[in-house]
Amino acid sequence: MMTVGTIGVPKPSKKYATKRPTRDEFVLEELANQLAEAKQEDAEVLLTVWGWEEQVRGLITEMDSRTGKVHIQRHGIITKVSFMDIMKIESPGG
Protein backbone atom coordinates (compact mmCIF):
# COMPACT_ATOMS: atom_id res chain seq x y z
CA MET A 1 0.00 0.00 0.00
CA MET A 2 1.32 3.35 -1.00
CA THR A 3 0.80 6.43 1.14
CA VAL A 4 0.40 9.74 -0.48
CA GLY A 5 1.87 12.71 1.32
CA THR A 6 -0.27 15.78 1.67
CA ILE A 7 0.82 18.61 -0.49
CA GLY A 8 0.42 22.00 1.08
CA VAL A 9 -2.04 24.08 -0.83
CA PRO A 10 -1.08 27.71 -0.48
CA LYS A 11 -3.69 29.68 1.38
CA PRO A 12 -4.96 32.80 -0.32
CA SER A 13 -3.18 35.83 0.99
CA LYS A 14 -5.20 37.72 3.52
CA LYS A 15 -6.65 40.90 2.18
CA TYR A 16 -7.01 43.48 4.86
CA ALA A 17 -9.82 45.83 3.99
CA THR A 18 -8.79 49.42 4.16
CA LYS A 19 -10.35 50.94 7.21
CA ARG A 20 -12.74 53.84 6.98
CA PRO A 21 -10.98 57.00 8.10
CA THR A 22 -11.89 58.02 11.62
CA ARG A 23 -13.38 61.45 12.13
CA ASP A 24 -13.83 63.38 15.32
CA GLU A 25 -17.22 64.18 16.81
CA PHE A 26 -17.15 67.77 15.51
CA VAL A 27 -16.75 66.63 11.91
CA LEU A 28 -19.56 64.08 12.34
CA GLU A 29 -21.80 66.68 13.97
CA GLU A 30 -21.20 69.13 11.12
CA LEU A 31 -22.00 66.39 8.60
CA ALA A 32 -25.23 65.55 10.46
CA ASN A 33 -26.18 69.25 10.47
CA GLN A 34 -25.58 69.53 6.72
CA LEU A 35 -27.72 66.43 6.07
CA ALA A 36 -30.54 67.70 8.31
CA GLU A 37 -30.47 71.11 6.61
CA ALA A 38 -30.57 69.56 3.13
CA LYS A 39 -33.50 67.34 4.15
CA GLN A 40 -35.39 70.28 5.66
CA GLU A 41 -34.87 72.40 2.54
CA ASP A 42 -35.59 69.53 0.11
CA ALA A 43 -32.23 70.28 -1.46
CA GLU A 44 -30.56 67.78 -3.77
CA VAL A 45 -27.27 66.49 -2.40
CA LEU A 46 -24.21 64.76 -3.78
CA LEU A 47 -22.64 62.38 -1.27
CA THR A 48 -19.16 60.95 -1.36
CA VAL A 49 -19.44 57.54 0.31
CA TRP A 50 -16.46 55.60 1.63
CA GLY A 51 -15.87 52.44 -0.37
CA TRP A 52 -18.29 53.38 -3.18
CA GLU A 53 -16.97 54.07 -6.66
CA GLU A 54 -19.66 56.57 -7.55
CA GLN A 55 -21.17 59.44 -5.64
CA VAL A 56 -24.81 59.23 -4.55
CA ARG A 57 -27.08 62.01 -5.78
CA GLY A 58 -30.66 62.78 -4.81
CA LEU A 59 -33.02 64.08 -2.15
CA ILE A 60 -32.84 62.95 1.45
CA THR A 61 -36.16 61.29 2.24
CA GLU A 62 -35.32 59.85 5.65
CA MET A 63 -32.58 59.79 8.25
CA ASP A 64 -33.15 56.62 10.27
CA SER A 65 -31.50 56.97 13.67
CA ARG A 66 -32.30 53.34 14.53
CA THR A 67 -30.29 51.87 11.63
CA GLY A 68 -27.92 54.81 11.10
CA LYS A 69 -28.91 54.96 7.43
CA VAL A 70 -29.65 58.00 5.30
CA HIS A 71 -32.21 57.35 2.55
CA ILE A 72 -31.52 59.18 -0.72
CA GLN A 73 -34.10 59.16 -3.53
CA ARG A 74 -33.49 59.89 -7.19
CA HIS A 75 -35.72 58.95 -10.14
CA GLY A 76 -37.93 56.92 -7.81
CA ILE A 77 -35.05 54.75 -6.58
CA ILE A 78 -34.07 54.88 -2.91
CA THR A 79 -30.46 54.27 -1.94
CA LYS A 80 -29.69 53.68 1.74
CA VAL A 81 -26.29 54.89 2.88
CA SER A 82 -24.73 54.34 6.29
CA PHE A 83 -24.18 57.71 7.99
CA MET A 84 -20.72 56.62 9.14
CA ASP A 85 -19.70 55.91 5.51
CA ILE A 86 -20.60 59.41 4.29
CA MET A 87 -17.33 61.26 3.79
CA LYS A 88 -18.56 64.47 2.17
CA ILE A 89 -21.81 66.21 1.28
CA GLU A 90 -22.04 68.73 -1.56
CA SER A 91 -24.59 70.53 -3.67
CA PRO A 92 -24.67 69.00 -7.18
CA GLY A 93 -24.05 72.45 -8.63
CA GLY A 94 -20.66 72.65 -6.98
Q: What angle do CA 25, 41, 74 make, to 5 degrees?
A: 90
Q: What is the mean pLDDT of residues 4-31?
A: 74
* This prediction's pTM: 0.77
pLDDT score of 16: 56
Q: What is the mean pLDDT of residues 69-92?
A: 96
pLDDT score of 20: 81
Phi/psi at 49 (nearest 5 deg)? -115, 130
pLDDT band at 33 (very low <50, low <70, confident <90, very high): very high
Q: What is the mean pLDDT of residues 4-12?
A: 59
Rg from Cα positions in the chain: 21
Q: What is the mean pLDDT of residues 15-32?
A: 85
Q: Is the pLDDT of residue 7 over 90?
A: no
